[in-house]
């Protein structure tokens, strides 16, 4: 327990820095909506209109017919993202990549929510709350934990192998700990993908009738 508190205390600056970087990405993504051209906005609007109508018309069949494909697509996306973070943590030059991935995640979420709110006002915010927010309440903390672990391992390599010039044998235990933590986080992401596949579509069906009325009126 004391080791855990000591580790958390040492890593707190990393968590704060990455959380701020992620939030900056969210703001940047929301502002990017204003930079879209009229043609791009119209294309997105047409896509969402078709999507809302499809979800509203098919009801439960929408979730059932695409559940397997959606689940594995979601799992693949999450694991690739964490895999990239893990690989970046294995090298000294990977540190900037960890920061970029966290910033980019924020941009994607900020853009999605910003566009929905900008186009559909409170109805867009409500749709974002049921479609974007729920599974990301787990995904974002998991990515932060993986990113901090990657940064910690990368900095540990710098200190031991480059600055202190110690033999690489001393890296085995930290590497196993780093890999084990990442594996646990991947399991959590599979759980998030399950929620995203079987629960989120049902929640979306509660809101899409209002949005369908807005885009067809």
Tens digit of pLDDT for each residue in 8-26?
Answer: 678 899 999 999 999 999 9
List, as own/partner pairs, every contact residues 19-22 make where C-beta atoms lie below 8 angstroms and the sequence separation is at least 24, other chains included: 19/144, 21/99, 21/102, 21/103, 21/106, 22/102, 22/103, 22/105, 22/106, 22/140, 22/144
Per-residue pLDDT tens over the stretch 26-73: 999 999 999 988 888 888 888 888 888 777 766 544 445 577 788 899
The whole-model pTM stands at 0.88
Give the number of C-alpha atoms closer than 13 A to the C-alpha of residue 21, restricted to the C-beta side. Answer: 21
- In the chain, how many domains are there? 1
pLDDT digits (tens, 9 = 90+) for 74-120: 999 999 999 999 999 998 788 999 999 999 999 999 999 999 999 88
Structural domain of 161: 2-216
């Amino acid at each position: 327990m004391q080791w855990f508190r000591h580790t958390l205390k040492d890593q707190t600056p990393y968590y704060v820095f990455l959380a701020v970087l992620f939030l900056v990405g969210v703001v940047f993504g929301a502002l990017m909506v204003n930079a879209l051209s009229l043609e791009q906005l119209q294309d997105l609007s047409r896509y969402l209109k078709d999507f809302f109508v499809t979800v509203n018309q098919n009801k439960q069949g929408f979730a059932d017919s695409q559940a397997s494909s959606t689940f594995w697509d979601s799992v693949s996306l999450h694991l690739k993202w964490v895999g990239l973070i893990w690989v970046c943590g294995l090298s000294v030059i990977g540190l900037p990549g960890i920061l970029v991935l966290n910033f980019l995640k924020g941009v994607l979420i900020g853009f999605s929510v910003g566009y929905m709110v900008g186009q559909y006002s409170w109805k867009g915010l409500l749709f974002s709350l049921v479609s974007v927010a729920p599974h990301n309440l787990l995904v974002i903390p998991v990515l932060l934990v993986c990113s901090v672990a990657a940064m910690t391992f990368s900095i540990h390599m710098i200190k031991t192998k480059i600055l202190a010039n110690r033999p690489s044998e001393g890296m085995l235990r930290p590497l196993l700990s780093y890999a084990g933590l990442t594996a646990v986080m991947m399991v959590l992401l599979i759980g998030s993908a399950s929620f995203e596949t079987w629960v989120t579509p049902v929640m979306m069906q509660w809101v899409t009738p209002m949005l369908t009325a807005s885009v067809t009126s």
